[in-house]
Amino acid sequence: MLARRATQRLLEIRQAFRQIPQASRSFSTALNYHLDTPDNKPDLPWEFNDANKAKVTEILSHYPSNYKQSAVIPLLDLAQQQHGGWLPVSAMNAVAKVIEVAPIRVYEVATFYSMFNRAKVGKYHLLVCGTTPCMIRGSREIEDALLKHLGVKRNEVTKDGMFSVGEMECMGCCVNAPMITVADYSSGSEGYTYNYFEDVTPKRVVEIVEMLRRGEKPPRGTQNPMRRNCGPEGGNTTLLGEPKPPPCRDLDAC
């Protein structure tokens, strides 16, 4: 009796998840399992194109022949670039075949790293840093501005397929917080770029979106005209010359 109730409850939960629209599913972290859809199921054919087959060979050349599985991350990245920014299960199966491992070994990697998207993204995938320094500096307002301007929720794709907005953990430029990343899949793997836009404001991220929509290339890096790279506004105030060597040792003797 108890087992029957548990089975029935499990079926109800699975049915509830099947009713969730694909666009609202998290790209990689919330649902670490696969549900077949018309454009994402194992029996759909998928293979690397001719240009990327050469890249696959080059990637594999970096590893001993008996350690092909070490190439799983760069091969998944290449597959994602080719497939417009996301990884269908058939692409993961193709990678498993190349490196000669069971598909589950590839699924484990694709579901662990948030940089691998298992649902469709826009041609321009905008990632807002949500870690503490950026959050303190206004990343929530940055995300709200993007979502409101594009008329989507987090992890949804705009109706024209151009944009999607997600969150990413620390991007390593805390001194230039807040910041976003733009993964550009508009030209496939050949034209793929992944650029940081730092010191952004709600107004500036909207301007960046509109520049991308017009096919322009907004300047990457800091968006604060008073800063140069990671330096302070107005220029450096310290370290203006050659640093003095430490007095405790003779550098020339090293």
| Secondary structure (DSSP) of 114-150 | TTS-SS---SEEEEEE-SHHHHHTTHHHHHHHHHHHH
Contact 126, 166 (CB under 8 A): yes
Which residues, listed in sequence order, are joined to residue 91 by a DSSP beta bridge?
none
Alpha carbon distance 38, 41 (integer Å): 7
Is 230 known to sit in a ligand binding site?
A: no
Is 170 known to sit in a ligand binding site?
A: yes
Contact 163, 150 (CB under 8 A): yes
Is 134 known to sit in a ligand binding site?
A: yes
Is 174 known to sit in a ligand binding site?
A: yes
Contact 196, 171 (CB under 8 A): yes
Binding residues: 129, 134, 170, 174
Binding residues for [2Fe-2S] cluster: 129, 134, 170, 174
